[in-house]
Structure 1
Amino acid sequence: MHEFQLPDMTCGHCAGMVSQTLQMTDLESKVQVDMAKRTVTVQSTEDRATFAEALTEAGYPPA
Protein backbone atom coordinates (compact mmCIF):
# COMPACT_ATOMS: atom_id res chain seq x y z
CA MET A 1 0.00 0.00 0.00
CA HIS A 2 1.24 3.47 -0.89
CA GLU A 3 0.18 6.79 0.63
CA PHE A 4 0.85 10.14 -0.97
CA GLN A 5 0.48 13.68 0.39
CA LEU A 6 -0.90 15.85 -2.43
CA PRO A 7 -0.93 19.56 -1.47
CA ASP A 8 -2.26 20.55 -4.92
CA MET A 9 -5.40 18.39 -4.53
CA THR A 10 -7.81 21.09 -3.39
CA CYS A 11 -11.31 20.11 -4.60
CA GLY A 12 -13.55 17.28 -5.70
CA HIS A 13 -12.48 17.67 -9.32
CA CYS A 14 -8.84 17.29 -8.29
CA ALA A 15 -9.71 14.18 -6.28
CA GLY A 16 -11.44 12.71 -9.32
CA MET A 17 -8.46 13.40 -11.54
CA VAL A 18 -6.09 11.85 -8.99
CA SER A 19 -8.27 8.74 -8.70
CA GLN A 20 -8.55 8.42 -12.47
CA THR A 21 -4.79 8.82 -12.93
CA LEU A 22 -4.03 6.12 -10.38
CA GLN A 23 -6.65 3.75 -11.78
CA MET A 24 -5.23 4.18 -15.28
CA THR A 25 -1.74 3.40 -13.95
CA ASP A 26 -2.97 0.10 -12.46
CA LEU A 27 -6.47 -1.08 -13.36
CA GLU A 28 -6.46 -3.47 -10.39
CA SER A 29 -5.58 -0.77 -7.83
CA LYS A 30 -7.87 0.36 -5.04
CA VAL A 31 -7.77 4.11 -4.39
CA GLN A 32 -8.94 6.02 -1.32
CA VAL A 33 -8.88 9.81 -1.25
CA ASP A 34 -8.95 11.87 1.96
CA MET A 35 -9.66 15.46 0.95
CA ALA A 36 -9.41 16.80 4.51
CA LYS A 37 -5.83 15.54 4.84
CA ARG A 38 -5.05 15.92 1.11
CA THR A 39 -3.81 12.35 0.97
CA VAL A 40 -4.45 9.42 -1.31
CA THR A 41 -3.88 5.76 -0.49
CA VAL A 42 -3.35 3.18 -3.22
CA GLN A 43 -3.47 -0.59 -2.77
CA SER A 44 -1.46 -2.06 -5.61
CA THR A 45 1.46 -4.28 -6.48
CA GLU A 46 2.87 -1.54 -8.73
CA ASP A 47 6.01 0.30 -7.65
CA ARG A 48 5.55 3.52 -5.64
CA ALA A 49 7.73 5.46 -8.08
CA THR A 50 5.38 4.56 -10.95
CA PHE A 51 2.45 6.17 -9.14
CA ALA A 52 4.51 9.19 -8.06
CA GLU A 53 5.55 9.80 -11.68
CA ALA A 54 1.96 9.46 -12.94
CA LEU A 55 0.70 11.90 -10.29
CA THR A 56 3.43 14.40 -11.15
CA GLU A 57 2.62 14.19 -14.86
CA ALA A 58 -1.07 14.77 -14.05
CA GLY A 59 -0.18 17.96 -12.14
CA TYR A 60 -0.41 16.60 -8.59
CA PRO A 61 3.18 16.01 -7.48
CA PRO A 62 3.47 14.24 -4.13
CA ALA A 63 5.05 16.23 -1.29
Structure 2
Amino acid sequence: MQRYKIDDMSCGHCVGTIEKAIRAIDPAAEVEANLGTKEVRVETTADSGVVVQALKAAGYDSLPL
Protein backbone atom coordinates (compact mmCIF):
# COMPACT_ATOMS: atom_id res chain seq x y z
CA MET A 1 0.00 0.00 0.00
CA GLN A 2 1.34 3.38 -1.01
CA ARG A 3 0.19 6.61 0.66
CA TYR A 4 0.54 10.18 -0.56
CA LYS A 5 -0.21 13.61 0.89
CA ILE A 6 -1.72 15.89 -1.78
CA ASP A 7 -2.33 19.35 -0.33
CA ASP A 8 -3.96 20.66 -3.54
CA MET A 9 -6.74 18.02 -3.45
CA SER A 10 -9.83 19.97 -2.45
CA CYS A 11 -12.92 18.58 -4.20
CA GLY A 12 -14.55 15.64 -5.92
CA HIS A 13 -13.19 16.76 -9.28
CA CYS A 14 -9.66 16.59 -7.86
CA VAL A 15 -10.32 13.06 -6.60
CA GLY A 16 -11.57 11.99 -10.03
CA THR A 17 -8.54 13.48 -11.76
CA ILE A 18 -6.17 11.78 -9.33
CA GLU A 19 -7.92 8.41 -9.71
CA LYS A 20 -7.81 8.74 -13.50
CA ALA A 21 -4.08 9.58 -13.47
CA ILE A 22 -3.25 6.57 -11.32
CA ARG A 23 -5.45 4.18 -13.29
CA ALA A 24 -3.79 5.37 -16.51
CA ILE A 25 -0.57 3.74 -15.30
CA ASP A 26 -2.29 0.75 -13.61
CA PRO A 27 -5.90 0.05 -14.61
CA ALA A 28 -6.22 -2.47 -11.76
CA ALA A 29 -5.07 -0.01 -9.08
CA GLU A 30 -7.26 0.52 -6.04
CA VAL A 31 -7.38 4.20 -5.10
CA GLU A 32 -8.87 5.64 -1.91
CA ALA A 33 -8.85 9.41 -1.47
CA ASN A 34 -9.67 11.23 1.77
CA LEU A 35 -10.46 14.92 1.24
CA GLY A 36 -10.42 15.59 4.98
CA THR A 37 -6.82 14.48 5.45
CA LYS A 38 -5.77 15.21 1.85
CA GLU A 39 -4.31 11.72 1.64
CA VAL A 40 -4.53 9.14 -1.11
CA ARG A 41 -3.95 5.43 -0.56
CA VAL A 42 -3.02 3.38 -3.60
CA GLU A 43 -2.78 -0.38 -3.99
CA THR A 44 -0.77 -0.88 -7.17
CA THR A 45 2.10 -2.79 -8.68
CA ALA A 46 3.48 0.47 -10.13
CA ASP A 47 6.60 1.97 -8.58
CA SER A 48 5.96 4.95 -6.30
CA GLY A 49 8.13 7.16 -8.52
CA VAL A 50 5.87 6.40 -11.46
CA VAL A 51 2.80 7.25 -9.38
CA VAL A 52 4.34 10.57 -8.27
CA GLN A 53 5.15 11.41 -11.91
CA ALA A 54 1.59 10.58 -13.00
CA LEU A 55 0.16 12.79 -10.26
CA LYS A 56 2.53 15.63 -11.23
CA ALA A 57 1.49 15.31 -14.89
CA ALA A 58 -2.14 15.62 -13.72
CA GLY A 59 -1.28 18.85 -11.90
CA TYR A 60 -0.82 17.61 -8.33
CA ASP A 61 2.30 17.69 -6.22
CA SER A 62 2.41 14.75 -3.86
CA LEU A 63 4.48 13.72 -0.88
CA PRO A 64 4.89 9.99 -0.27
CA LEU A 65 4.03 9.06 3.34
Identity %: 30
**Structure 1 moving runs of 4+ over 6 Å:** none
What is the number of equivalent residue pairs in this alignment? 63
The 2-side partners of 1:9 and 1:42 are apart by 15
In structure 2, the partner of 1:16 is: 16
**Over the residues paired in the alignment, what is the CA RMSD in angstroms?**
0.8
TM-score by length of 1: 0.94
What is the rounded CA distance, in whole Å, between the counterparts of 2:16 and 2:45 in structure 1? Answer: 22
Partner of 2:4: 4
Query: What stretches of structure 1 of length at least 5 have no aligned partner?
Result: none
Unaligned runs of 5+ in 2: none
Alignment partner, residue 56 of structure 2: 56
TM, length-normalised to structure 2: 0.91
